[in-house]
């Protein structure tokens, strides 16, 4: 599940594979960039902001950014030249970027765009504080969440305008660990700063590895408290974990540890 930590890790993959090198070829397989050729551009920087990936390119005095978003199913993989592209089926390839030492392949990427780096802000200004950014600001995230007191806390955590980087997994796990029923209105959440800080801690603690865990265990089947565990016993109380639709996403919760208020 691409959440903030996955996107951050992906930016590091592209950094190791491409940054500092000149592109020797590019092959875009999306209509809006089909005629684009980035040969000769230098990859200056690979960054993430929330769930957005930013590959910054320079040539002479020009600076462009290749923007992509993983959404639910996108991925970037890096291979050595000549290595078999073992990532995903070929029909999912959206772009191939080549340097002398690496081939980076973007699979099923979304929102692909090549924009002047100076205009990145227009794409990203709506985002709340980035959980994994150097400028992470929990007070600002809380302030933004509080502006919509009737929203459910689950919806508020997923809203990238409030804070950038929480996806469905960390949403569900944060709410379990805080004992919050997912439909609790923001106004009724007793310790909003504590909830926001815990979400950030969970995402940050998974940076640098691909297995996402909120329980501390990296063993298959033991990595979450409620996410993906419908009908399985709660790790704390044994009650069957519930699953339901909520705002076009699914949510998981323990009805005993996260009771409906009142």
Contact flags string 192-231 toward Zn ion, x per CB under 5 A: ----------------------------------------
53 touches 69 (CB < 8 A): yes
Q: Is 234 in the site for Zn ion (CB under 5 A)?
A: yes
- Report in angstroms how near the CB of residue 97 gets to Zn ion at its nearest: 46
Q: Is 254 in the site for Zn ion (CB under 5 A)?
A: yes
- Integer Cα distance of 86 and 37 in angstroms: 24
Q: Is 72 in the site for Zn ion (CB under 5 A)?
A: no
Q: Is 95 in the site for Zn ion (CB under 5 A)?
A: no
Nearest to 42 by CA among 55, 29, 28: 55
Q: Is 169 in the site for Zn ion (CB under 5 A)?
A: no
Binding region for Zn ion (CB under 5 A) out of 68-76, 92-100, 151-159, 249-257:
249-257
Residue 249 or residue 256: which is nearer to Zn ion going by CB?
A: 256
56 touches 65 (CB < 8 A): yes
Q: Is 104 in the site for Zn ion (CB under 5 A)?
A: no
Q: Is 232 in the site for Zn ion (CB under 5 A)?
A: no
> Is 51 tagged catalytic?
yes
> Is 3 tagged catalytic?
yes
> Is 2 tagged catalytic?
yes
* Residue 91: both structure tokens together: 């029909």
Question: 69-74: long-range contacts (C-beta < 8 A, 24 or more apart)?
Answer: 69/109, 69/110, 69/111, 70/2, 70/6, 70/7, 70/10, 70/109, 70/110, 71/2, 71/110, 72/1, 72/2, 73/2, 73/108, 74/2, 74/106, 74/107, 74/108, 74/109, 74/110
Q: Is 237 in the site for Zn ion (CB under 5 A)?
A: yes
> Is 249 tagged catalytic?
yes
- Integer Cα distance of 104 and 68 in angstroms: 13
Selecting among 49, 51, 77, 178, the annotated active-site residue is 51
Q: Tell me, by CB under 5 A, how many residues bind Zn ion.
A: 7
DSSP state of 204: H
Selecting among 101, 236, 249, 256, the annotated active-site residue is 249
- Report in angstroms how near the CB of residue 195 gets to Zn ion at its nearest: 18
> Which residues make beta-bridge pairs with 27?
96
Residue number with the shortest CB distance to Zn ion?
Answer: 234
């Amino acid at each position: 599940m691409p959440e903030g930590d996955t996107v951050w890790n992906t930016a590091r993959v592209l950094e190791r594979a491409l940054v500092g090198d000149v592109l020797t070829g590019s092959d875009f397989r999306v209509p809006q960039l089909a005629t684009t050729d980035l040969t000769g551009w230098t990859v200056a920087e690979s960054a993430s902001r929330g769930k957005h990936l930013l590959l910054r390119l320079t040539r002479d005095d020009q600076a462009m950014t290749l923007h992509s978003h993983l959404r639910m199913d996108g991925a970037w993989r890096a291979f050595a030249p000549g290595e078999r592209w073992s990532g995903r089926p070929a029909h999912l390839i959206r772009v191939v970027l080549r340097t002398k030492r690496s081939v980076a392949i973007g699979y099923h990427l979304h929102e692909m765009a090549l924009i002047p780096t100076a205009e990145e802000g227009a794409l990203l200004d709506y985002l709340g504080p980035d959980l994994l950014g150097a400028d992470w600001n929990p007070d600002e995230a809380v302030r933004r969440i509080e502006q919509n007191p009737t929203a459910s806390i689950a919806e508020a955590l997923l809203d990238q305008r409030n804070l950038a980087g929480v996806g469905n997994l960390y949403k569900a796990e944060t709410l379990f660990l805080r004992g919050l029923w997912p439909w609790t209105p923001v106004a009724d959440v007793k310790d909003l700063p504590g909830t926001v800080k815990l979400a950030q801690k969970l995402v940050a603690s998974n940076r640098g590895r691909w297995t996402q865990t909120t329980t501390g265990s990296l063993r298959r089947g033991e990595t979450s408290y409620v996410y993906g565990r419908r009908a399985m016993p709660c790790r704390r109380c044994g009650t069957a974990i519930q699953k339901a639709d909520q705002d076009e996403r699914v949510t998981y919760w323990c009805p005993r540890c996260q009771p409906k208020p009142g």
